[in-house]
Structure 1
Amino acid sequence: MSGLELDATQLDRYSRHIIMDDVGATGQAALREAAVLVVGAGGLGSPVIQYLAAAGVGTIGIADDDAVELSNLQRQTIHGTDDVGEQKVDSAAAFVDTLNPDVDVQRHDQRVTADTVTDLIAAYDVVVDASDNFRTRYLINDACTLAGVPFSHGAIFQFEGQVTTFTGGDDGPCYRCLFPEAPPAGTVPDCATAGVLGVLPGTIGSIQATETVKHILGVGDSLDGRLLFYDAADMSFETVALAQRPECPICGDSPVVDSVQEVAYTESCAVTGDATTE
């Protein structure tokens, strides 16, 4: 799509992008032609979906099998009181349609599993990991890394959040380089147990959306090779370097996994030498 194919309404809607030298009509066309999969329509997924839709990303896939609960509304801002009991993919799609009818929303009312993830990500240019559990994080990492699909990772806990981007380059790390295996069950409580500051996912999810838009536009420096920590209590940011682990079973010098079907995503999600888990 070129700038000449934008109608008057679209020219007005995206005018603040179009006047930017690093975006312009060409960049807006790239956004319109892009397809992004957001895994999770909760706290992190809400700002991701909202800002990708507002930016004019042409196709947004939303994968989530949960229904909206009243306790979600403290942080999951694309859902409202009237949506309680509705499936999150339906509520999210209705929100996007109201915000920007240019966007084509693909609803995936399902839990992402080893049986579905490969085909699911194949239809998208970028994946945003807005999930809330380690099994899904490792599954997304492995599937995207094996397929060469870039993805953004975000996680939150009480007042703290972290975010990074994995572009799948030859020398770039993956999530397993950062965390070779998940912590023992019960050692990291979830939001339902430990709580979370309601505005925190808005910050982390907005950074994930920023990274995604930058990747589509091909501008700026991404967080690939860097992990950004945010502490809302101290209002501080810290960035640490990430490096590829030569022994990583997914992206290292001698990977032992060729397919997510070779791994059982249970307990630690660790990969041993024969590509099975503990």
Structure 2
Amino acid sequence: MAVTVLIPTTLRGFAQQHSEVEVPAGTAAEVLAAVAEKYPDIREAVFADDGTLREFVHVFVGDRSIQELQGFATPVPDGAEVMLIPTIAGGSGVHAPLIPENREKLSNDEISRYSRHLLLKEVGVAGQRRLKAAKVLIVGLGGLGAPLAQYLAAAGVGTLGLVDFDEVELSNLQRQVIHRTRDIGRPKVASAKEAIRGINPQVKVNTYDYPLTADNALDILGEYDIIADATDNYPARYLINDACVLLGKPDVFAAMFQFEGQVTVFYGKEGPCYRCVYPSPPPPGLVPSCSQGGVMGVLPGILGTIQAGEVIKLIVGGGRPLIGRMLVIDAWNMKFRELKLPHNPDCPISGTHPSIHELETYDYQDFCGLKKQEEEPVEAIAAKELKQRLDAGEQITLVDVREPHERAIIKFPKAKVIPIGQLARRQDELDPSRVTVFICKEGKRSILAIRTLREAGYHGLMFNLKDGINSWARDVDASMPQY
């Protein structure tokens, strides 16, 4: 008797890169214990010190979270599938439209442009008028925001707000299809606005070329009917969620990593919010960003298009939005799963007795563990200084914490290879009498590596290669690629 435990990409580094494992059937606690016994490194990633699940991880048996069932005592029958669902950062029936119908007559040009919508009785003239009257804010113009903005513009959403303060980079173009090679170096909002004008000049576009913050979020989001979260970091996700709950607006959410994605609609009025599902984020560095771990270029296109579909359904009414349901997509194996998300009555913002009533006094950076803590700082060494010390013959141990497929892009000369998920149990391979420099792509995972070893009791002198292997390619060895 056995069950299959599905391990998401974000946790596979702690499970020897395995995507699934068979363990004996039993209770949820017994199943998880068997997984932790087989992969000891996953225990610290998934469980808190007191043995409870960390708040950024859900365990689903079938399509239901064990929190809705019997917790760790939930029976897991033979042949069942158990899914570990970390943050990457019951739906209602037919949904009433969020936008009142605009009685303004459609022009002949609009009738021609939107004729395929008008032929759908579920949309029709009334639905198209609602689309024309709607105001949708897209936060983030990367992989998710690109198809989302394009399809909403093509659908005839009357006003689109675009929030992003980044510039277009060469590495964006593999997936951020709203931008072009000629746009490299331009603000993303400018590039996206131009592309939208090319798709549909009838759409009004408002741009916000600065960060969304606790001070401005309510003012900006308050001008729109629906918010689409296409961001890539946890502070922004919690901020958008909280603003949407306080304003009573739906948050059409998507997140992705490598080949996996999640799409749902968080709507505090009718179902769970983001905090209901993920009360707290993972520790910094545990779940890599797409810039650190990569993403299949078409995946955000799939997810962003689904987001656009959810926005359209909310505007015109009808259909069954993903409120209280999460669509989980594995694009590599092309599997779609639907999970039920319960509302948490104890949620601090959408629960029965909320404790969060305003944004300005809430510190999102601190909540997500991104502020400098009282813990011992991690010392960094610049690429040029490391090169000088190596050339001088100094005995320095170099440790590359990247995964094998990433090292295939470029290897760091003479570096010892220890993936970050194996560091604690392999610390005996390091000599504490020698200086050790940890290396990753951007210098972020190597900071986590050093802190992991400190917590495991290692006392050698450790440095983080500042800005990672890309800084070595930029400042020391120009023959190496940056990625």
TM-score normalised by structure 2 residue count: 0.55
Secondary structure of the structure 1 residue equivalent to 2:363: coil
SS in 1 for 2:263: strand
Number of the residue aligned with 1:87 = 187
- Code of the residue aligned with 1:225 in structure 2: it is G
Q: Deviations over 1:38-97 (max 9, x none)?
A: 000110000110000000000000000000001000000000000000000000000000
- Residue 181 of structure 1 pairs with residue 277 of structure 2: no
Shift of 1:191: 1.1
How big is the shift at 1:187?
A: 0.3
- The match for 2:220 among 102, 120, 132 is 120
Mapped to 2, the partners of 1:125 and 1:243 lie a distance apart of: 24
Rounded to whole Å, the distance in 2 between the matches of 1:267 and 1:236 is: 36
> What is the correspondence of 1:24-63 to structure 2 with a 5 Å cutoff?
24-63=124-163
From 159, 173, 183, the equivalent of 1:73 is: 173
CA distances 1:6-42 after superposition (whole Å, capped 9, x unpaired) = 2221111000011111111111000000000000011
Aligned to 2:313: 214
Q: Does 1:23 align with 2:135?
A: no
Identity %: 50
Letter in 2 for 1:39: V
The higher-RCO structure (CA 8 Å, 6+ apart) is 1
Matched length: 268
Give, in angstroms, the shift of residue 268 of structure 1. 3.9
Deviation string 1:198-224 (CA, Å, 9 cap, x unpaired) is 000000111110000000001100110
**Which residue in the other structure is 1:109 paired with?**
209
1:2 to partner: Cα distance = 3.9
- Distance change (3 Å), C-alpha of 1:140 and 1:262: same
The one-letter code of the counterpart of 2:343 is: Q
Structure with larger Rg: 2
**C-alpha deviation, 1:267, in angstroms:** 4.3
Matches within 5 A, 1:136-215: 136-169=236-269, 172-215=271-314
CA contact (8 A) 1:17 1:28 kept: yes
Distance 2:202 2:183 in 1: 23
* Residue 12 in structure 1 maps to residue 98 in structure 2: no
Structure 1 pair 269/251, CA: closer, same or farther in 2 (3 Å)? farther
Q: List structure 1 runs of 4+ shifted beyond 6 angstroms.
A: none
TM-score, structure 1 as length reference: 0.94
Q: CA deviation at 1:269?
A: 3.7
Please name the residue that 1:258 is paired with: 357
Contact kept? 1:183, 1:268, Cα under 8 Å: no
Contact 2:183 2:191 in 1 (8 A): yes
Give the letter for the 2:198 counterpart. Answer: T
In 2, the alpha carbon distance for the partners of 1:253 and 1:230 equals 32
Give the equivalent residue in structure 2 for 1:238. Answer: 337
Distance 1:101 1:239 in 2: 37
- Tell me the alpha carbon deviations over residues 229-270 of structure 1, each in whole angstroms, 9 at most, x when there is no partner: 000011000111111112110111110011112310014449
CA distance in 2, matches of 1:257, 1:6: 43
| 1:87-146 superposed Cα distances (whole Å, 9 cap, x missing partner) | 000000000000001100000111111011010001000000000000100000001011
Residue of structure 2 equivalent to 1:132:
232
Secondary structure of 2:275 counterpart: helix
Contact 1:184 1:268 in 2 (8 A): no
CA RMSD of aligned residues (A): 1.1
Contact 2:254 2:303 in 1 (8 A): yes
Contact 1:129 1:151 in 2 (8 A): yes
Aligned counterparts of 1:193 and 1:256: Cα–Cα separation in 2: 35
Counterpart residue identity of residue 159, structure 1: F
Does the CA-based 8 Å contact 1:182-1:267 persist in structure 2? Answer: no
